[in-house]
Structure 1
Amino acid sequence: MKDLRHFIHTIESRPELDTPFTSCGVDNMQRVSHGEWSDDVLEVTAGLGEGIGGMVQAVRDRRTGIAMARKTIVTREGPLKQLVRELSMITTLAHVNIIHFYGAYMSPSSSEVKVVMELCEGKSLEAVGERIRRRKGRVGEKVARVLADGILQGLAYLHSKRLIHRDIKPSNILFTRQGVVKLCDFGVSGELVQSVAGTFTGTVGYMAPERVLGRDYSIRADVWSAGLSILELVQNRFPYPADISAFDLVLYISENPPPQLEDEPNLHARWSDAMKDFLRLALTVDPAQRPIPRDMLLHSWITKVSKHKVDMTRWIAEVWSWDHDSSSSSPMST
């Protein structure tokens, strides 16, 4: 515990990052010091959920008025090594598609660590997918392409830092109010050792075959997870059989051909050959044949992002009915 307190003190004393970032919900570029955080300067405005990683709340900095998210982790219940790993990593990252870290502090009782991050009002890809399914909508190909580009840009940045995320899944892909993709939750991330890793951490359903088989893996495993997440979103269903145990799911992933994007004529869902090929590459079973994020960004389907602009601010607003009538049509975006 003493080591953890010393580490957080070290974070607080660091100078701000040199790279500016765009804060969620704030139009202009913001620079915020990492230090001087406490319960006294943060006002809780809403609860955002609670999971294995800890409770998350929306907070407002009383000094600046900036809205942020705060994750509370009970240290005596969570693995300290994993917590220190996450904190040490996110303090070094600065990229438009990576969640921005403001700082961390310990509660007076020393039983909780509170991590202050960007508030992404567009919620997670998981929540967005559920919302669209409830409204009987579909995600269009142009939107899916922008989302895939954002995920891959974040992964390519992590790769440049010799990092693997290791838990890419819809709940760890967030959106700003402007529809910008942000990768979050680096609690199971780790450094690449000679470009491979060997631990079994993450969420089984989104793991690449080499991971569920316990083999060495690399950043290419994150490409598989990203492809599966996009496939789930556009097809409005999890790509694997529902209601099977984790053990049976491992067997299914390791023994069956990978899921593929298919047209659904009865739903008027037809996808381009380029998109199908992109997902086929992302879901290549042999990791040696699966491209790394940087190469996936060069795929012809992704390079069209710059040619076909999509108003992502409008799209995320339609998803959540911001400034729209709640009975408006389903968000079948372009």
Structure 2
Amino acid sequence: MHDLRNAIHVIQTRSGPAANTSPKLVEEPDRYLHGEWSDSILEVVGHLGEGIGGAVHAVKDTRTARVLARKTILTREGPLKQLVRELSLISTLKHVNIIRFYGAYMSPSSSEVKVVMELCEGKSLQAVSERIRQRRGRVGESVARVLAEGILQGLAYLHSKKLIHRDIKPSNILLSRDGTVKLCDFGVSGELVQSVAGTFTGTAGYMAPERILAQEYSIRADVWSTGLSILELVQSRFPYPDGLAPFDLLLHISASPPPQLEDDPTLSLPWSAAIKDFIKLSLTVDPSSRPIPTEILRHPWIAKTKKRRVNMARWIAEVWNWKFDVSSPISTSGDESSPGA
């Protein structure tokens, strides 16, 4: 517990206000200058869901009226060493595609640690996918391409820090109000030792074969999970057979050819050869032949992101029925997605 208190003190020093700042709210691109956090200044305004280790709520900073996200972690239910490590890790990460961390504090009883982060109003990619399926819509290539690039940019940043996420899946991919991808939940993240890792943590259905087989793995395993998540998104279904028991699913992933993107006869347009190749490359079984994030970011399908503008703010607004300027186009690429009626 002493190590945990020390870690939180260091984190507050990193993420708190700079010396001699004005007491009024100051915002910078990568931090929210706030002072000390406590239950007394954070008002719960909604429940956002469950993350690894605890519940996540929307909370309002009563000093500024800004709404943030707060994750509550029960210290008695998880290894303190891992918790210290996670808090120390996320306090150092600053990237547009990584969720912003604003601080942490302990409850008076020391039974809970509360982590304060930016609120992603667009919710998770899992929630977005479910919403679109309910409305009988679909996600087209132009939107999927922007989402894939955001995930990979976040992973490339982690790789530059010698880190691996290890739990890339739709529920850990958040979207801001303007549609920007934010990777979250670093509870199982690990440092790379000579670019490899060796522990069996994460969500089994999105794991690369080498992880299931208990082999050494690297950031390339996160690329597999990215490809699988994008495949699930555009196909509107989990890529593996329904109804498999957990052990049978692991056996299927490790022993069967990887799933691929196939054309849907009910859609008017087939998928492009470029997105099919991107999925195929991401789901390369041999990890030594699977690209790292910076390599697959150069894939021709991803490269189109810079040439074909997509208004992600309008797209996410349509998903959640938010008000938005209807004169602003979703895309200029001709393959825009439809969130549904």
TM-score (norm 1): 0.92
Rounded to whole Å, the distance in 1 between the matches of 2:96 and 2:123 is 16
Q: Distance in 1 between matches of 2:237 and 2:79?
A: 33
Change (3 A) 1:143 1:27: farther
Q: In the TM superposition, what is the alpha-carbon distance from 1:35 to its structure 2 partner?
A: 4.3
Q: Give the superposition deviation at 1:51.
A: 4.4
| Equivalent residue number for residue 23 of structure 1 | none
| Corresponding residue number in structure 2 for 1:114 | 114
Partner residue in 2 for 1:131: 131
Question: Given the superposition, is the C-alpha separation of residues 178 and 76 from structure 1 closer, same or farther in structure 2, using an over 3 Å criterion?
Answer: same
Give the length in aligned residue pairs. Answer: 322
Distance 1:261 1:299 in 2: 16
Q: Report if aligned partners of 2:15, 2:31 keep a CA contact under 8 Å in 1.
A: no
How big is each residue's C-alpha offset from its partner over 1:92-113, in whole Å with a ceiling of 9 and x where there is no partner?
1000000000000000011000
Cα deviation per residue 1:74-119 (whole Å; 9 max; x = unaligned)? 1111221221121111011000000000000000011000000010
Letter in 2 for 1:314: R
* SS across alignment from 1:271: coil
Aligned match of 1:146? 146
Compared CA separation, residues 57 and 236, structure 1 to 2 (3 A): same
1:184 aligned onto 2:190: no
Q: Percent of aligned pairs with the same residue? A: 71
Q: Which residue in 2 is equivalent to 1:248?
A: 248
Distance 1:221 1:74, change over 3 A: same
Whether the 8 Å contact between 1:197 and 1:217 is mirrored in structure 2 is yes
| TM-aligned CA deviation for residue 53 of structure 1 | 2.1
Counterpart amino acid of 1:332? Answer: S
Residue 105 of structure 1: SS of its match in structure 2?
strand
8 Å CA contact 1:128, 1:319 repeated in 2 = yes
What CA distance in whole angstroms lies between the structure 1 residues aligned with 2:222 and 2:191? 13
Q: For residue 305 of structure 1, what is the amino acid of its counterpart? A: T
Q: Is the 8 A contact 2:128 2:319 kept in 1?
A: yes
Whole-angstrom distance in 2 between the partners of 1:197 and 1:268:
43
Q: Deviations over 1:7-61 (max 9, x none)?
A: 111211225599xxxxxxx998474236401011111111112344201100111
Residue of structure 2 in register with 1:95 after alignment: 95
- Counterpart among 331, 334, 338 of residue 332 in structure 1: 338
Distance 1:231 1:269, change over 3 A: farther
Preserved contact between residue 138 and residue 337 of structure 2 (Cα < 8 Å): yes
Distance 2:79 2:34 in 1: 24
Which residue in 2 is equivalent to 1:155?
155
Cα RMSD after superposing both structures: 2.1
- Report the equivalent of 2:56: 56
Structure 1 residue 266: Cα displacement: 2.2
Look up the equivalent residue of 1:284 and give its one-letter code: T
- Is 2:271 aligned against 1:265? no
Partner of 1:198: 198
> SS of the counterpart of 1:13?
helix
Find the aligned partners of 1:73 and 1:248 in 2 and give their Cα distance: 32
Identify the residue that residue 82 of structure 1 maps to in structure 2.
Answer: 82
CA contact (8 A) 2:103 2:117 kept: yes
* Letter paired with 2:73: I
Q: Which residue of 1 aligns with 2:299?
A: 299
Distance in 1 separating the partners of 2:34 and 2:246: 40
Query: 1:172 — aligned with what?
Result: 172
Listed as ranges, the gaps of 5+ residues in structure 1 are 19-25, 325-329
| TM-aligned CA distance change 1:61 to 1:30, over 3 Å | farther
Offset at residue 239 of structure 1 (A)? 0.2
Q: What is the rounded CA distance, in whole Å, between the counterparts of 1:68 and 1:269 in structure 2?
A: 40
| Residues in 1 aligned to 2:105 and 2:80: alpha-carbon distance in whole angstroms | 14
User: How far off its partner does 1:278 sit?
Assistant: 0.7
Distance (whole Å) between structure 2 residues aligned to residue 268 and residue 215 of structure 1:
42
Residue number in structure 1 paired with 2:333: none
| Residues 168 and 221 of structure 1, relative CA distance in 2, 3 Å threshold | same
- Provide the residue aligned with 2:223 in structure 1: 223
Per-residue CA deviation, residues 164-205 of structure 1 (Å, 9 max, x unaligned), is 000000000000000000000000001000100000000000
Partner of 2:318: 318
SS of the equivalent of 2:158 reads: helix
Counterpart of 1:5 in structure 2 is 5
Residues 260-314 of structure 1 show CA distances to partners (whole Å, capped at 9, x for unaligned) of 0111122335111011111110000000000000011101110110110000000
TM-score by length of 2: 0.90
- For the 8 Å contact 2:97–2:181, the answer to whether it is kept is yes
What secondary structure sits across from 2:36 in the alignment? coil
Contact 1:13–1:35 (Cα < 8 Å) also in 2: no
